[in-house]
Structure 1
């Protein structure tokens, strides 16, 4: 009798899992053909901004039903890999490659003010993140033998080098500008960020620890990190990191790891996502969504097991800062919304 009860419980759990996965769908929204979007900032359920190459920025105030498209004047050939928006008129964008640039708008994208420039050879900014409307951080590839970290305390109006020392970068270690998801700023000036390339590590509290992800090539390693409770001390205890090998985007080996003890130990998924993943976000409770060039996956158990919900590729996924909506953005102007 005991065995029969356990079997019934197992069957019921499996049926519930299938129903949960089947309930998740990605609705494609009006995008902009020919543009690669890697920057995404979801302010609330109806307001989102995206940024991409060819100097392109887009804003929707109706939940993605329509977008206002703009090309940043004087920067028509730049690739804006990340964006942070605060409301319908204020946003900050980051441009990769040289010169390193951060721009800010206060009028809905009608004009953009240059708030940071770095003309050094080899400069490459990767991502930025704000903990509130004033305080934010940006990370860039190592330069002059040091990790590039920038800090703002005035809403992105000005940026300064971050003085706290982290371990020196290892040979072949860098930070991917894949989704803006490899850095998270926390309370009390704490920051967590992840690296990739020939070495893949997580940096926090002035230290760095190796991640159990695929590494060793320039295309491997961590791309993004999600924290279940980012407002708690050191981001709580539940973190999930995704990556893999973007040159082999359907390989499942070494593309995800997670910790349940604040980074003290790491585990790999029992059933990993269906390939390389560049973006990840907590949705609700232990539910997560991850995306990459080979599709979108769903987890209902904190990252231990994953199921493919769409074979369509996206670069970045983000839940609304104030709300429940989840949006995605990717190549060839693709923008999507999670339906559940």
Structure 2
């Protein structure tokens, strides 16, 4: 998103979901993160040693053992042993790129997005665990600025750009990110003045199932969530309850556990500004959004549903991690470490990543 200026531009879980939910629910008076609670071991973020100070806003969890992170200075790391060791698999010659999103299909195949104006926005793909990379898209339109990407399956995916000619631009692939094309914009609602996406956590464009995708916005008078049920050809728009009205405010991250139940998080990314009403929920696929009755206490950029749970989710931001046990209606802080993004997968693996090379697994 251009409106944030240079700052914004260049801005797991060994138990089953139910057990983790129960353990995280132990009141803080009984157990601090990493300590023993009245229900035994309490899962907490366990920092891993990445060997870099890059800021990781791109995160793709494959399993409890396998994960990819992507971030500043063209950095891409991969682990296959739960974070005990990280391998630097950064694409050659990418030091000037800012990676903000990564989607991985397994420990060998991944697609990474670099953001920025014009040719700074690029997509690269690997089929051999990062040993080699192929650039599959380079933006040649100076008006475009790509923020996020998502995949429905290992073949079909989308990427989104800030508005061009008054509408968000959508890029599509049907071969796993090897080739991309710009979709027609006839079915895209007009953008509002100042509106754009936030390249903060790789979660401004998310999907669920084979065709449903949601796009989060900010920077305008209203923070909206756009939904498409046909892989980006046509879109509907809904105002969220998260405050906007400023280039630094809006919806930063989305998570859907199915095509109906979703959570939005955001606020004001500036550290000296309050972020009231920083979370919202939907139970009808994003047609309407309701603000959390007890929202996170500050700006949050990333959110993820806990595996095998219909009501528990985590939200992360620079000032901490919050937990909800009721589908996003009420939140409480369970950790004060700084993270930008969070991702959980079906085998119970949950990962978080952020500034200064921070990558952690919930253990």
TM-score of the aligned structures, taking structure 1 as reference length: 0.89
Q: Does the Cα contact within 8 Å between 1:34 and 1:332 map onto a contact in 2?
A: yes
Q: Does the Cα contact within 8 Å between 1:50 and 1:58 map onto a contact in 2?
A: yes
Q: Does the Cα contact within 8 Å between 1:240 and 1:259 map onto a contact in 2?
A: yes
Three-state SS of the structure 2 residue aligned to 1:308 is strand
Offset at 1:188?
4.9
In the aligned structure 2, how far is the partner of 1:250 from the partner of 1:331? 19
1:25-36 alignment runs, 5 A limit: 25-36=44-55
Offset at 1:71?
2.9
Structure 2 partner of 1:4: none
Q: Does 1:253 pair with 2:276? A: yes
1:212-249 CA deviation, whole Å, 9 max, x = no partner?
A: 111011110001111122xxxxx12x211000000147
In the aligned structure 2, how far is the partner of 1:302 from the partner of 1:274? 17
1:77-102 CA deviation, whole Å, 9 max, x = no partner?
A: 11111111112221111000131210
In the aligned structure 2, how far is the partner of 1:89 from the partner of 1:72? 14
Structure 2 partner of 1:222: 251
Three-state SS of the structure 2 residue aligned to 1:247 is coil
Quickly say closer, same or farther: Cα 1:74–1:210, change in 2 above 3 A.
same
Structure 2 partner of 1:285: 310
In the aligned structure 1, how far is the partner of 2:189 from the partner of 2:324? 33
Structure 2 partner of 1:137: 158
Q: Does the Cα contact within 8 Å between 1:249 and 1:294 map onto a contact in 2?
A: no
In the aligned structure 1, how far is the partner of 2:57 from the partner of 2:340? 6
Equivalent of 2:73, from 51, 54, 57?
Answer: 54
Offset at 1:145?
2.0
Q: Does 1:327 pair with 2:351? A: yes
Equivalent of 2:27, from 9, 18, 24?
Answer: 18
Three-state SS of the structure 1 residue aligned to 2:92 is coil
Q: Does the Cα contact within 8 Å between 1:37 and 1:50 map onto a contact in 2?
A: yes
Quickly say closer, same or farther: Cα 1:273–1:58, change in 2 above 3 A.
same
Deviates more, 1:191-200 or 1:126-135: 191-200
Structure 2 partner of 1:210: 239
Structure 1 partner of 2:148: 127
Q: Does the Cα contact within 8 Å between 2:277 and 2:292 map onto a contact in 1?
A: no
User: Larger Cα Rg: Structure 1 or Structure 2?
Assistant: 1
In the aligned structure 2, how far is the partner of 1:21 from the partner of 1:38? 29
- CA RMSD across the alignment: 2.0
In the aligned structure 2, how far is the partner of 1:254 from the partner of 1:221? 10
Three-state SS of the structure 1 residue aligned to 2:356 is helix
In the aligned structure 1, how far is the partner of 2:77 from the partner of 2:362? 19
Three-state SS of the structure 2 residue aligned to 1:18 is coil
Unaligned runs of 5+ in 2: 1-21, 33-41, 229-234
1:176-191 alignment runs, 5 A limit: 176-191=198-213
Structure 1 partner of 2:191: 169
Quickly say closer, same or farther: Cα 1:218–1:60, change in 2 above 3 A.
same
Structure 1 partner of 2:333: 308
Structure 1 partner of 2:181: 160
Q: Does 1:85 pair with 2:85? A: no
TM-score of the aligned structures, taking structure 2 as reference length: 0.83
In the aligned structure 2, how far is the partner of 1:307 from the partner of 1:58? 31
Q: Does the Cα contact within 8 Å between 1:274 and 1:294 map onto a contact in 2?
A: no
In the aligned structure 2, how far is the partner of 1:185 from the partner of 1:303? 18
Unaligned runs of 5+ in 1: 1-12, 230-234
Q: Does the Cα contact within 8 Å between 2:240 and 2:290 map onto a contact in 1?
A: no
Three-state SS of the structure 2 residue aligned to 1:54 is helix
